[in-house]
Chain A
Amino acid sequence: MTLDVDTRKADNGVSVVAPTGRLDVTGAPALKDAIGELIRGGQERVVIDMEGVSFVDSMGLGSVIAALKQIRNRQGELRLAAPNQQVRVVLELTTLDRVFPYYATVEEALTGL
């Protein structure tokens, strides 16, 4: 299964990246590519809309950590929106919920960003 990644720009200028499928070892490169492209284009405020992500593994999580590091290096901000239960469990287990602020909806994530 490949991961489809859509990117759009919200009204406040923040980029919203929406992957659909499994964000795992096979899907992670697609997310890395999409976020890398945004960063090269000067986008430093990004929301990842996780609603379409059915499952995340440690490699998928690694791609989000890589994105977070790149964006924070540029004084930007990355937020996660609408993670499902499995994603939340993995974030909590790895204590990464302490470095990723996650929000119930994309709209909430966009507020104040």
Chain B
Amino acid sequence: MGTEHFDFKATFNDLDDGLEVLHRSVDRLRRATGRDADDRSLLLFETALGEIGTNVLTHGSRVRSARPVEYSLRLAGDQVVASLTDSGPPVDEQLAREMPGRDTEDGRGLAIARSLLDELGYERDGDLNRWRLVKRL
């Protein structure tokens, strides 16, 4: 499984379009690697990607001068690696949050993503947030 080549790149601004692109990219990866719709590793990865993507597209787009989100998805050996770059405000405080209690309606997104990935990288680079999501397949 480690020898396939897969490299997907896109930019987007809008929440609906952005999420559609993210899910479509994982579908393409699924097909490219011959995995079925129930492949657990990719399902977990897609779940984490949806959470980070939603965070980026909802918080980042509040900034009036927001530039498009840059997204890439690739295979690196037996790992799938996604990168997202956005011009939203820093998110260090949200990243530190634990999983909230069961009757809480929101605030789970980043905690879910963190627990599903092998690596969730985040760095503030000038005015940009740079995310890196890694999952072994």
Q: Which residues of A contact B (CB under 8 A)?
A: 1, 22, 24-26, 55, 57-59, 61-63, 65-66, 69, 85-86, 89-90, 93-96, 98-99
B109 within 8 A of A: yes
Contact across chains for B20 and A58 when beta carbons are under 8 A apart: no
Q: List 26 A-B contacts (CB under 8 A).
A: A1-B19, A1-B20, A24-B50, A24-B54, A25-B19, A25-B58, A55-B23, A57-B47, A57-B51, A59-B54, A59-B109, A61-B108, A62-B105, A62-B106, A62-B108, A65-B102, A65-B103, A65-B105, A69-B103, A85-B38, A85-B40, A86-B47, A89-B43, A90-B47, A95-B102, A99-B102
Q: Which residues of A contact B19 (CB under 8 A)?
A: 1, 22, 24-26
**In the assembled complex, how far is the CB of residue B18 from the closest CB belonging to chain A, in whole angstroms?**
10
Contact across chains for A26 and B106 when beta carbons are under 8 A apart: no
**How many residues belonging to B are interface residues under a CB distance threshold of 8 Å?**
27
Q: Which residues of A contact B99 (CB under 8 A)?
A: 94
Total contacts A to B, CB within 8 angstroms? 69
User: Which one of B40, B46, B58, B115 lies within 8 Å of A55 (CB-CB)?
Assistant: B46
Known contacts A26-B16, A65-B104: A86-B43 contact under CB 8 Å: yes
Main secondary structure of the interface of B (DSSP, over half): helix
Q: Which residues of A contact B104 (CB under 8 A)?
A: 65
Contact across chains for B109 and A58 when beta carbons are under 8 A apart: yes
Q: Which residues of A contact B40 (CB under 8 A)?
A: 85, 89
**In the assembled complex, how far is the CB of residue A23 from the closest CB belonging to chain B, in whole angstroms?**
11
Contact across chains for B46 and A86 when beta carbons are under 8 A apart: yes
Q: Which residues of B contact A (CB under 8 A)?
A: 15-16, 19-20, 23, 38, 40, 43-44, 46-47, 50-51, 54, 58, 99, 102-109, 112, 115-116
**In the assembled complex, how far is the CB of residue A44 from the closest CB belonging to chain B, in whole angstroms?**
18
Contact across chains for B106 and A58 when beta carbons are under 8 A apart: yes
Q: Which residue of chain A is the closest to B39 with respect to CB atoms? A: A85
Q: Which residues of B contact A90 (CB under 8 A)?
A: 47, 112
User: Which one of B15, B23, B47, B115 lies within 8 Å of A25 (CB-CB)?
Assistant: B15
Q: Which residues of B contact A62 (CB under 8 A)?
A: 105-106, 108
Main secondary structure of the interface of A (DSSP, over half): helix
The CA of A93 and the CA of B43, in the complex, are separated in Å by: 13
User: Which one of B43, B58, B105, B116 lies within 8 Å of A85 (CB-CB)?
Assistant: B43
